[in-house]
A and B are shown apart, each in its own frame.
Chain A
Amino acid sequence: MTDIRTIAVGFDGSPDSEVALVWALDLAAPLGARVVAVHARGLLSRLEGWSSSVLESTVTRLAREHGVSVGDVSVCVEEGDACSVLVRCSRPPVDADLLVVGSRGDGKHPGLLLGSTSLELAQRAEVALVIVPSAHDVVSP
C-alpha cells in the first residue's frame, strides 16, 4: 500500500473546506503525514484585496483545536483554477500522495453540470482522492 506522507487539502475558507481539512488532520495524525492546505487564486482574487493571512490563521486554529503540531500543517497558495491547482499538487514541490476536498467549495459557483471541482477532480486526479461530504450532504433515512 502506498505510504501517505503528504495530504493536500483544497481549502478556500468555506465551511465545507474546513470539514475537509479537519478530516485530513484526523487522518494525518496517526500516519505521521504532513498536511498542506492548498488555496487556488483565480483571476479576480487580485482585484478583491485578497490576503492569505485569514486562511493561515484559520488553518492554524483548526490544527491547534485538533492537537496537531502547527509545524506539520502548511498553507500553499497557487495561481490557477481550483481543480488544476490540486491536480498539480500531486507533483513536486508539494508531492501529495492524497487529495482531500469538500463536496461543495465556497458556494460562489453552483457547479451544476459544468463546474464542480470535486467531480472534475474525480476524473483528473493523479493520486487518490477523498471527497468529504458536508453536513448538508448527509440525508437522514
Chain B
Amino acid sequence: MLIVNELTENAAHEDPGHPERPERVGAVAAGISSLHLGGDVVSVAPHRATRAELARVHDGIYLDELGAYCYAGGGNLDEDTYATYDSWAIAQFAAGAGLAVVDELTRRGDGVGFVAVRPPGHHALADRAMGFCLLNNVAVSAAALADRGERVLIVDWDVHHGNGTQSMFWNDPRVLYVSTHQWPLFPGTGVAQEVGGLDAVDRTINIPVPPGATGDTLARALDEVAAPVIDEFDPTWVLVSAGYDAHRADPMGDLLLTSGDFAMLARRVREVVPAPGRLALFLEGGYNLEALRTSVAATLGALLDAPFDAAAPSAGGAGGDVAARVREQRRVALDQARAAREREEDE
C-alpha cells in the first residue's frame, strides 16, 4: 500500500525558467500512475506545519523572517533560491505533508509513504534557505519521530549532499544520516571525514562519489560502509531523501544512474526497514521530468512489488575504489572524534 500526500503542483511557488518547477510533481504523479496500484494508493491531506513542529529544527527568527519576506512579495533569497508571496504557506504545507504521511503510516502500521512535495528541503539550514529549499521537510518529520522516542535512519540519495539535514542532526544520537552524493559538487560539504558531533560520533555517514560513478559503486559503498553502522544503530524508522538528480539524464549532476538503479537503492533501503509502515520517502531533487517519472516508478515499484519498466542498473563507472577509500577516511576520523570525546569527558 502506498501512502502519499495529496499531490499538488503548487504553481504559486514558481520562478519562470527555474528548474525547481511545478511540473515536477506532475512527473511524480505520472510515475505513480504507471504502476496501476488502484485501491492500494491512499491519499493523505496535509496540514500546515505548526511553528512548534518547524521549530524542532528551524530557528524561530528564521521562520518569522521567511514568512515576512514572502508576505512582502518574496524575491531571490540567494543566487539559487526564490520565494513568492505564497511560498511560505506552500512550504509549511510541504513540511506538514511529511508529518501527515508519517502519522498515517503509524496509524495503519502498514504501507510505504511517499511525500511528493515542493519546494524540496534537504539543503535548508536551521536559520537559512539554500539550494532551492526553504524548510527542511525530511528533518521536520525525523525530529518529530525522534521526539516520540524513535531511532530514525535518514538515507539521502540525492546527487547533492544534504547539508541542511546533516547539520540539524550533527550532534543528535537519535538520528543516523547516510548520504551518497557526487563530490565535488554543490554545496561543497559531505566529505567522508564528517562523522558526527561529539555527542553523535558515527551518526553521520557520507559517501562522496566522483563524476561518472554508476549504481554499482553506490551499492558497494552502502553495503560495505553504511550497512554495519545501520545494523548497530538498529533504526525503528527509515526516511529517505529521495532526490532523482543522480540520474544520468539530469542536468544538475554528473552521475550515471538509471531508473533501474533507484529500484536497486530502494530494495537496499527496504532491507533495513524494521517493520511495515516504517518507511517514508521525501522528494528532493530531480529536474529531468522523464527521468523523474521513470525513477519514481522504479523506486515505488520495487518497494511495493509492483511491475514497472526500468532501464538496467548501471555499472563500471568511475570511483570503483570509493568504498575502500571512504572506509579508511572514516576510520581515521572516527578515531580522532572518539579521542576528542574522551578528552572532553576527562575534563
> Closest residue to A105 on the B side, CB-wise?
B79
Within 8 Å of chain B (Cβ to Cβ): is A85? yes
* Chain B contacts for A88, CB-based, 8 A: 188
- Across the interface, do B77 and A114 meet the contact criterion of CB distance under 8 Å? yes
* Chain A contacts for B184, CB-based, 8 A: 79
- Across the interface, do A42 and B186 meet the contact criterion of CB distance under 8 Å? yes
Interface-central residue, A81, A88, A112, by most chain B CB under 10 Å? A81
User: CA–CA, A72 to B160, complex, Å?
Assistant: 34
- Across the interface, do B187 and A44 meet the contact criterion of CB distance under 8 Å? no
- Across the interface, do A108 and B77 meet the contact criterion of CB distance under 8 Å? no
Within 8 Å of chain B (Cβ to Cβ): is A109? yes
Q: How large is the interface on A (under 10, 10 to 19, 20 to 34, 35 or more residues)?
A: 20 to 34
- Across the interface, do A41 and B186 meet the contact criterion of CB distance under 8 Å? yes
- Rounded to whole Å, the gap between the CB of A86 and the closest CB of chain B is 11
**Set A43, A80, A81, A110: member contacting B75, Cβ < 8 A:** A110
- Across the interface, do B188 and A42 meet the contact criterion of CB distance under 8 Å? no
* Chain B contacts for A109, CB-based, 8 A: 75-79
- Across the interface, do B79 and A44 meet the contact criterion of CB distance under 8 Å? yes
**Set B18, B19, B188: member contacting A80, Cβ < 8 A:** B188
- Across the interface, do B78 and A115 meet the contact criterion of CB distance under 8 Å? yes
**Set A43, A112, A113, A120: member contacting B80, Cβ < 8 A:** A43
User: CA–CA, A82 to B128, complex, Å?
Assistant: 13
**Set A41, A106, A113: member contacting B69, Cβ < 8 A:** A113
- Rounded to whole Å, the gap between the CB of B127 and the closest CB of chain A is 9
Residues facing B in A75-119 (CB within 8 A) are 78-82, 84-85, 88, 106, 108-110, 112-115
- Across the interface, do B77 and A106 meet the contact criterion of CB distance under 8 Å? no
- Across the interface, do B251 and A46 meet the contact criterion of CB distance under 8 Å? yes
* Chain B contacts for A42, CB-based, 8 A: 78-80, 131, 186
- Across the interface, do B186 and A113 meet the contact criterion of CB distance under 8 Å? no
Within 8 Å of chain A (Cβ to Cβ): is B185? yes
User: CA–CA, A78 to B80, complex, Å?
Assistant: 15
- Rounded to whole Å, the gap between the CB of B38 and the closest CB of chain A is 38
Do A79 and B78 contact each other (CB < 8 Å), given the known contacts A43-B252, A46-B251?
A: no
* Chain A contacts for B77, CB-based, 8 A: 109, 114-115
Within 8 Å of chain B (Cβ to Cβ): is A47? yes
- Across the interface, do B76 and A113 meet the contact criterion of CB distance under 8 Å? no
Contact with B along A109-137 (1 / 0, CB 8 A): 11011110000100000000000000000
User: CA–CA, A106 to B314, complex, Å?
Assistant: 40
> Closest residue to B188 on the A side, CB-wise?
A80
User: CA–CA, A45 to B186, complex, Å?
Assistant: 10
Within 8 Å of chain A (Cβ to Cβ): is B10? no
**Set B66, B76, B186, B187: member contacting A108, Cβ < 8 A:** B76
Within 8 Å of chain A (Cβ to Cβ): is B65? yes
Within 8 Å of chain A (Cβ to Cβ): is B45? no
* Chain B contacts for A80, CB-based, 8 A: 186-189
| Interface of B toward A, CB cutoff 8 Å | 18-19, 62, 65-66, 68-69, 75-80, 128-132, 160, 184-189, 251-252
| Interface of A toward B, CB cutoff 8 Å | 41-47, 78-82, 84-85, 88, 106, 108-110, 112-115, 120
In the complex, 21 of the A-B residue pairs with CB atoms within 8 angstroms, ordered by the A residue number, are A42-B80, A42-B186, A43-B131, A43-B160, A44-B18, A44-B79, A45-B79, A80-B188, A81-B80, A81-B130, A81-B131, A84-B187, A85-B188, A88-B188, A108-B79, A109-B79, A112-B69, A113-B68, A114-B77, A114-B128, A115-B129
User: Would you list the 10 A-B pairs with minimal beta carbon distance, nearest first?
Assistant: A80-B188, A109-B76, A42-B79, A79-B188, A43-B80, A42-B80, A80-B187, A113-B65, A79-B186, A43-B186
